[in-house]
Amino acid sequence: MDIAPLSFPDIEKSRPLVLAGPCSAETEEQVLETARRLVACGIRIFRAGIWKPRTKPGSFEGVGKDGLKWLREVKQETGMYTSTEVANARHVNEALKAGIDILWLGARTTANPFVVQEIADALLGVEIKVLVKNPVNPDIELWIGAMERLQISGIRQIAAVHRGFGSYEKGLFRNLPQWHIPIELKRRLPGLTLICDPSHIGGRSELILPISQQAMDLGFDGLMIESHFEPHNALSDKEQQITPEFLKNLLNSLVIRETSDSSESLNELRREIDEIDERLLDLISMRMSVAREIGRYKKQNNMPVLQPKRYEHLVTERLSQALGLELDEKFVELILEAIHEESVRQQIAVFNKD
């Protein structure tokens, strides 16, 4: 994909690029006062939701196109770039008429190729920056596919926004970070601007700083953070919004580690990693060879492929072993699950062989 990184001629090229503003545009006063405080804190890109896709009817679903007038006022008064979410072709057309600088596709939209194509068609021949949030489910191909549809329509400046992935489990995060997915995205599309949305990942204001720091440590290019001049009065997602002043302090406290030339000692450690990875692959290959032998034995002795008790015993033993090896239990469990699935697949292949 030939995607150009986001470029703003009058914004200094440094990490992080910051987009900030309220979850939802609620009133003219709220939008303008928040924007004034943000620009006073050095923020140059204002974000606000105009149309808000809500899970249930009856929730605040945004003020609609009336809010676009307020974003236009923000641009005129403060000189900030403006951005908002679009979820269909009508939204696109109205946002373009209002002179919005940046559009973004929300998680629910990214997950629907039909809607993404409708938006891409509406943007045909338009020169504008577009951000694409990850889909609700952890599907990197769906994420890339949405960006490809926009690129085919002629959009060149596209950025990916990592806002975490939905889960039925209630835990620390509102949406699970699953950092390996945006890392893989960056590996496959190295020129892509990658932005983190710590507000939606954390779901709580106190988590925004640690998530933002982790994103910077992983080499993310920017942050999209929800900011409201009176978060406690917000009509949506008040728990994850912070004041512009708090945002300024947060950004000042971030440690930004810029890349530099590798030293010989670092290169030596990387060579060691490469050798270990090669050995790992050899060991996995040997394990699968044994799995195929087990499959042949089971086939000859009329035994089923799946042996739940054996797998449970294996997992219990390996997790116990992991505790003494400074390995995270969930990480080990994930590896074992993947290896077991491949072993089962190898054995089924033996069963299906004539």
| Exposure class string for 119-157: b at 16+ Cβ within 10 A, else e | bbebbeeeebbbbbbbbbebeeebbbbbbbbbbebebeb
| Among 199, 230, 253, residue at a domain's last position | 253
CATH code for the domain of 77: 3.20.20.70
pLDDT for 351: 86
pLDDT for 310: 83
Whether residues 246 and 278 share a domain: the answer is no
Q: How far is residue 9's CA from residue 16's CA, in Å, rounded to a whole number?
A: 16
CATH code for the domain of 320: 1.20.59.10
The tens-digit pLDDT sequence of the chain (354 residues) is 778 889 999 998 899 999 999 999 999 999 999 999 999 999 999 999 999 776 667 677 789 999 999 999 999 999 999 999 999 999 999 999 999 999 999 999 999 999 999 999 999 999 999 999 999 999 999 999 999 999 999 999 999 999 999 987 777 899 999 999 999 999 999 999 999 999 999 999 999 999 999 999 999 999 999 999 999 999 999 999 999 999 999 999 999 987 656 677 888 888 889 889 988 998 999 999 999 999 899 889 988 888 888 878 888 888 888 777 888 888 888 888 898 899 889 999 988 885
Whether residues 131 and 51 share a domain: the answer is yes
Note the residue count of the chain.
Answer: 354
Q: Looking at the 3D structure of the chain, how many domains does it have?
A: 2
In a domain, 62, yes or no: yes
In a domain, 8, yes or no: no
Query: Crossing angle of helices 180-188/140-152, nearest 10°?
Result: 40
Which residues form the domain of 111? 17-253
Whether residues 107 and 215 share a domain: the answer is yes
Strands (E), the chain: 17-21, 45-47, 81-85, 102-105, 129-133, 158-162, 193-196, 222-226
Whether residues 218 and 287 share a domain: the answer is no
Whether residues 234 and 335 share a domain: the answer is no
In a domain, 3, yes or no: no
In a domain, 309, yes or no: yes
In a domain, 182, yes or no: yes
Whether residues 193 and 323 share a domain: the answer is no
Whether residues 179 and 290 share a domain: the answer is no
pLDDT one-digit tens code per residue, 223-254: 999 999 999 999 999 999 999 999 999 999 99
In the numeric block, the tokens 């015993």 are attached to 313
Whether residues 186 and 329 share a domain: the answer is no
In a domain, 7, yes or no: no
